[in-house]
Structure 1
Amino acid sequence: MPAPAASGTVPLWADTRAANGPDHDAAAAAVLPTAADVVVVGAGFTGLWTAYYLLRERPDLSVLVLEAEHVGFGASGRNGGWVSALWPVSPDTLAARSGRAATLAHLAALRDTVDEIGRVDAEEGLGGGFVKGGTLALARTPAQEERARAAVAHAASWGEGLEWLGPEAARERLAAEGVRGATFTPHCARVQPRDLVDGLAAAVRRRGGLVLEGVRVARAGDGVAVLEDGRRVSAGAVVLATEGWTARLPGHERAVVPVYSLMVATEPLSPERWEAIGLAGREVFTDHGHLVIYGQRTTDDRIAFGGRGAPYHLGSAIRPSFDHEEAVFASLRSTLTGMLPGLAGARFTHAWGGPLGIPRDWHPSVTWDPVTRTGRAGGYVGDGVAATNLAGRTLTDLVLGRPSALTGLPWVGHRSPSWEPEPLRWLGVNAGLRLARLADRDEARSGRPSRLAPLLARLTGGH
């Protein structure tokens, strides 16, 4: 395999972003107001979707978005670009807590959200590269095939439209090595995530919102945002949209753990290579292994491919150096080239990563306190590109005080338990990552479901 080109850890999405992003010069010249109707902390997808829908519904509102770094700095600008109806909590778990009717409504809302993002991308000219090609999840071992077929049967009981494809039909979509079949769902789109978040920030500004970058918030809630330099902004409402960085906020140190997901990308591939590889419909792809992997055909005809496996760092630490784990990058390149023979000889040009937020029960949530008028959404466990839009629309209804079908969904008001104190959470999270790798190796060797899988399920709360 050719050596990867040097690219540091700059995300592909930043290197290939379009020219439709926010006006940084104008933003830099903007003056921080002393008050706003709504202050949003975090200029990723959650914060920007919330600002966008608030301004669309109430153009008279003053909406201020404060970002410590730049628009899309966190997971919003580094992720795999899947706009999916996936949810990290199983329908059975949701139903046990909230009932079947509420669960069906939640699943339908997620499917509708995929199309909603496509509509806004087109109407606002966000330039996100939205193509709804669906998700192909390969089964490449007997154990993976067993799980895949079980997933199809289970999805049918919830009306989720998951289809089983035999080996030939699966290979027609993606010419992967050793394919025994695949599951396919149409409820997913591919985007260039940095272009989408930049376009969304521009849309918020066009509608009158103020998005300020390089502004660090020390504390926010209960009618005020206090900056690290001591300045204060009075707020009629506050929305916290900090996802993987939530553990840095006072009082939220154990709300989520920042777990790193890393990615690599190839050079742009020729039409001849794509003829051999597939993904003609711009499907995103994964497999039915235990350790999460994910890929897409990008807007400029590369393959961007990522996965979990980087270590969790003691004390929920987040540092730029953690974006680079060469052993994980090497494993991703090896996995991808082993999966796709059509990539033989292709160069890899980018490698990057960043943290995402995982709550203790793997359950994303939207919360709103009408007394302090403070809202929050997050804990998406890596499935947030679509969920953030649903969160933004839901928070809009909550901030505006109007009950709706969205405010009645089962993730609204959910409170996840706190993570264990250190070093217990360091031991537990890293043990889970190691077990996932070992379970996949065990199944590849034996062809049978790994005996480690039940232990892995207990460590991750069964999700």
Structure 2
Amino acid sequence: MVHLNPLCNTQSHWLHDAPFQTPSTESLPSKADIVIVGGGITGLSTAYWLTQLDPGQSVVVVEARGLSSGATGRNGGIICPGLNDNFDRFVQKYGEKDAERLVDFDYRNVDMLAQFLEEHGDKDNGFYDPQITWLEHGTICAWTSEQEAYDARSSAEVLKRLRPHEDDIKILSPEEVQTLTGQASFKYGGLQIKHTAIAWAARIVFCLARAVASKVHLATYTQVLQVQATGGGGHQVITNRGVIQASKVVYCTNAWTKYLLPTFTSHLVPIRNQVISVPVGGGGGGGGGGGPAKMNYVLSADRGYQYLSYRPYDDTLIFGGCRNATVGWMEHEDDDSTLNQTVSCHLRDRLQDYKFPHFPQREWAGTMGFSKQDGLPFVGHLAHVLGEQKGQGLYIAAGFSGHGMPRTFLCGRGIAQLLSNQPLDSYFPEQFLVDHSSRKYLLDPTSKLMNVYVPIKDHRRCHANGDIIHS
């Protein structure tokens, strides 16, 4: 089946004149121990950890477009631990200890990613400078209705009860939100998550690519058409540029997973979103009257369907979301080559509401991959899902549900450990694994499990953290 990752796309602010965006000219290897399908942050993190944990393996990364051309190169570039919004539901499903471990994993991922960038990133404003910046006031989730405040406060209170000595999460009064943001319209309070950084996410991928370039074959504009099993447990990875014989294949395909793994069609849902970049040119508006130069926080509003941050390095506002203004909320959409005009209009209207009287320079779309039943990524060996014979040697790391930035780096490490037959780290959440007992629905598409996650249209944070646009 053809992998329908469209080759035409809207121009992301993060990918303008970027490296790794032209077709590979080096011949495709005919054999590899491991083929990684997908050249975003998950695929390159997996490649990086393989070079660290099992350097003897031959590894090829194949990407249908340029590196980081999908979700990672189109997101809001916000690195913030997730799960705070639905934490009470995860406590109900998994218990207090395991739910807290999920949050701890996000914090660990954020810190280890920052450490990697400190060691492997530049600081010259070039293509390998991810411009990671820690924000004094973190992320401010402004509640915009009584119902949202009720729902979010309940979850935040459970989290704080289990983590009484942590000061990273704070419930804010309406007056505190208004003072921090300068927006009088926020009348219901909010939540502050202080452990937040902003970064040029595509450049994180470029740093990973540079770190592995001498050990891993990186093949851009190499579209995977089909993966076929061969005798002896191997696989043929059939691409538009040739065939690779591989012992193991990893699908780091997120929103496009269903085209190569139809089993996940009803479980991993693509959701499109849009973002605009706005040159500020000296400030003015918003941020408590101090202009963007004083905006040392990320703003998330309307249950996460709006998110705004200021980038001091290039004096630019990044504003995304508003997909809830459309009839279908852009669910089951994976074409990032077009823009929804309704969303475009709402983004501009909301920008004016926040008193930023500036005009967008670029607007782009991108696609997140949501795990429908529980909002957690799918990580692990696919033999559990496809059967021992059909799934032998096949692995997945996908479905980050808009929270890719705080999870993908260490999920790449987890997959690398599985590929190398090494034990997972003790902190790795077993709930991410495809063979976890809570994921029996993968074996039975008609099963009616208790849904820990609310319907996709009601997700509070579809989110700038991560995989894409508001990850």
For residue 258 of structure 1, the aligned residue among 264, 270, 276 is 270
Q: Aligned partners of 2:330 and 2:170: how far apart in 1?
A: 41
SS of equivalent residue, structure 1 residue 238: strand
> Could you say which residue in structure 1 is the equivalent of 2:3?
none
1:49 offset after TM fit, Å? Answer: 0.5
Runs of 4+ in 1 over 6 A off after TM superposition: 418-421
CA deviations 1:103-157 (Å, max 9, x no partner) are 2222111111111111111110142111222211113444444444434312213
> Could you say which residue in structure 1 is the equivalent of 2:414?
394
Q: Aligned partners of 2:139 and 2:330: how far apart in 1?
A: 34
Question: Are positions 1:100 and 2:100 aligned together?
Answer: no
CA deviations 1:258-307 (Å, max 9, x no partner) are 111111121234145576235746422202x3462222212412111111
Change (3 A) 1:136 1:436: closer
Q: Aligned partners of 1:406 and 1:436: how far apart in 2?
A: 26
Contact 1:268 1:302 in 2 (8 A): yes
Q: Aligned partners of 1:184 and 1:419: how far apart in 2?
A: 39
Alignment of 1:27-426 (within 5 A): 28-87=24-83, 90-125=86-121, 126-133=128-135, 134-159=138-163, 161-180=168-187, 181-206=189-214, 208-220=215-227, 223-229=234-240, 231-252=242-263, 253-271=265-283, 276-277=290-291, 280=294, 282-287=296-301, 289-290=302-303, 292-298=305-311, 299-307=313-321, 308-309=323-324, 316=332, 318-321=334-337, 323-338=338-353, 340-341=354-355, 343-344=356-357, 346-361=358-373, 362-369=375-382, 372-403=392-423, 404-407=425-428, 409-413=430-434, 414=436, 415=439, 417=441
TM-score, normalisation: structure 2 = 0.78
Q: Aligned partners of 2:207 and 2:93: how far apart in 1?
A: 37
Q: Taking every aligned residue pair, what percent have the same amino acid on both sides?
A: 23
Alignment RMSD, CA only?
3.2
Contact 1:219 1:250 in 2 (8 A): no
Q: Aligned partners of 2:17 and 2:314: how far apart in 1?
A: 8
1:419 offset after TM fit, Å? Answer: 12
> Could you say which residue in structure 2 is the equivalent of 1:452?
none
Decide which moves more: 399-408 or 209-218: 399-408
- What number of residue pairs does the alignment pair up? 409
Contact 1:83 1:188 in 2 (8 A): yes
SS of equivalent residue, structure 1 residue 334: helix
Contact 2:369 2:401 in 1 (8 A): yes
TM-score, normalisation: structure 1 = 0.79
Change (3 A) 1:245 1:236: same
Change (3 A) 1:245 1:369: closer
SS of equivalent residue, structure 1 residue 385: coil
SS of equivalent residue, structure 1 residue 29: coil
**Aligned partner of 1:52: which letter?**
Y
Contact 2:41 2:205 in 1 (8 A): yes
Q: Aligned partners of 1:98 and 1:120: how far apart in 2?
A: 31
Q: Aligned partners of 1:432 and 1:50: how far apart in 2?
A: 28
**Aligned partner of 2:340: which letter?**
E
Change (3 A) 1:94 1:143: closer
Q: Aligned partners of 2:193 and 2:224: how far apart in 1?
A: 40
Change (3 A) 1:285 1:377: same
Task: Specify every segment of 5 or more residues in structure 1 that has no aligned partner in the other structure, as ranges.
Answer: 1-7, 422-430, 438-463
Decide which moves more: 119-128 or 400-409: 400-409
Q: Aligned partners of 1:72 and 1:110: how far apart in 2?
A: 21
Q: Aligned partners of 2:444 and 2:273: how far apart in 1?
A: 21
Change (3 A) 1:151 1:281: farther
**Aligned partner of 2:251: which letter?**
L
> Could you say which residue in structure 1 is the equivalent of 2:448?
none
